Structure 1
Amino acid sequence: MRNFLKLRGNRTFEYKPRYYKGDGSPYKIEHKLDKFRSTATTNRGLKNKFSSAFDDLKTEGDRNIKMRFIIILAVLILLFLFIIDFDLSIFYSA
């Protein structure tokens, strides 16, 4: 009767990956870019998260990336307007 009430514990296995030769645990799930993000740190609280996000917005980025983004966005908008056959004559009266 005594063994009936006692629950059996889970089995544990000692598994070691055969070919893993890296640093740290191979089972740790971490995004590759988390170490470069300032918002991925241990900021507790909503106020701290918002303040760190606004600080990231204030920092100046690479000008070439911004210009490339604007050019790609403009090309995509013009391509979309061409596909839907948008007529520019509505903006001027002839």
Structure 2
Amino acid sequence: MGILKLRKNKKFNYTPRYFDDKGEGNPFEIKHKFDEYRKTVGSNAGLKTKINNALDDLKSNQDREVNKRVLIIVAILVLIFLFIIDFDLSIFFSK
């Protein structure tokens, strides 16, 4: 170690674990595995475009049981919320 010599930085030959040797793409890019099949991911468009894309994505979904289940759960949660705030449901029924 000389007084006038500067220290050299260490160099490491690092390659990520799951990086293919072909060099395609960025190895540090984080991407969800279903992003390429969905419209709602990736574009930063306006509110109307986002809503239209979400509705198209919902319509293209073939699993109708899941949609029914979500609607039932939302309805039950709304009724529980109305019960908690002591909402009078008798206004919907005629005497």
What is the TM-score when the length of structure 1 is the normalising length? 0.52
Cα deviation 1:18-77 (Å, max 9, x = unaligned): xx4313453123234313324557x8x98xx78x93754542431111111111011101
Question: Partner amino acid for 1:34?
Answer: D
Q: Identical aligned pairs, as a percentage? A: 43
Q: Which runs of 5+ in 2 are unaligned?
A: 1-10, 21-25
C-alpha separation between the residues in 2 aligned to 1:89 and 1:38?
A: 43
For CA contacts below 8 A with separation 6 or more, give which structure has more relative contact order: 2
**Cα shift at 1:88:** 1.7
C-alpha separation between the residues in 1 aligned to 2:64 and 2:80?
A: 24
Instruction: Flag the 1:88–1:40 CA change in 2: closer, same or farther, 3 A.
Output: closer
Map of 1:55-66 to 2, 5 A cutoff?
A: 56-66=57-67
Q: Which runs of 5+ in 1 are unaligned?
A: 1-12
Instruction: Say whether the 8 Å CA contact 2:35–2:41 is kept in structure 1.
Output: yes
Q: Does 1:23 align with 2:19?
A: yes
C-alpha separation between the residues in 2 aligned to 1:35 and 1:22?
A: 19
RMSD of aligned residue pairs (Cα, Å):
3.7
Question: Partner amino acid for 1:21?
Answer: R
Question: Partner amino acid for 1:37?
Answer: R
Question: Partner amino acid for 1:16?
Answer: Y
What is the TM-score when the length of structure 2 is the normalising length? 0.51
**Cα shift at 1:90:** 2.6
Q: Does 1:76 align with 2:74?
A: no
